[in-house]
Amino acid sequence: MYRYLEEFLAFFNRNDKDGCVEYSITGIRNGDFSIPDLYEKILKPALYSLDECMDEKDCIWNEHVKSSIVRTIIGSVYPLVIQMGRSRKKLDINVILICPEDEHHDIGLKMTSDFFTLEGYTPIYIGSHTPRDQICRAISNTKPKYVAISVTDYYHILEAKKLVERIRKTYGRDIKVLVGGNAFKSNQRTVDQIDADLYLEKYEDIVNLRKRDEKNETGI
């Protein structure tokens, strides 16, 4: 996959949005890489490379441009996500995907939503900066089995904890709480500290979750 990452970065580093989109779609259609590979082994490393920005004066605008490119790619490949998701037996399981209030980084959450689609779930993508009361209203209306919470910045862990407490108080343990994002990856003890049920890091984790759901195993 390193070769494909390098080829992609040739477009990405010069902010060539059209080139990035065309490269991504062509690669999937030609079978060079899968959608999970595109997201996890090309787009994520490309985004992480932004941390190496050398000139602080150019970091913010450059990050915004490149984040916009990745969002465009995710939107552009979504028809392929739908098409490939149809090859999997559909599960009658809803999954709400949110970022807690004040958390605006949602690209990883968008990727996770597509992973759930590929595995036959019904994702209900709400997205970034979602107030607790609105999340609870969404739960009451859509009856999900899972609520997936993504936190990138560690200082939003407290809000995620308050959200989980609200979910537990309102719905007991009938709703399973899934968490992911860099804030948990850097300190996985926080998964237990906020009383989440399962930490998701990669596509394979959702593949394994489906296997458990197919067996009606709920002990997470």
pLDDT at 52: 62
Q: How far apart are CA 130 and CA 49, in angstroms?
A: 28
Rounded-to-integer distance, Cα 185 and Cα 205, Å: 14
Give me the residues paired with residue 100 across strands.
130
Quote the CA–CA distance of 212 and 220 in Å, as a whole number. 9
What does each of the 220 residues of the chain score in pLDDT, given as a tens digit?
Answer: 899 999 999 999 999 999 999 999 999 999 999 999 999 999 999 998 765 665 666 678 888 999 999 999 999 999 999 999 999 999 999 999 999 999 999 999 999 999 999 999 999 999 999 999 999 999 999 999 999 999 999 999 999 999 999 999 999 999 999 999 999 998 889 999 999 999 999 999 999 999 999 998 655 6
Amino acid symbol at 183: A
- The per-residue DSSP string of 94-125 comes to EEEEEEETT----HHHHHHHHHHHHTT-EEEE
3-state percent helix, strand, coil for the chain, nearest multiple of 5: 60, 15, 25
pLDDT recorded at residue 93: 98
- Nearest-angstrom CA–CA distance, 159 and 156: 5
Predicted local confidence at residue 60, as pLDDT: 83
3-class SS of residue 144: coil
- pTM (predicted TM-score): 0.94
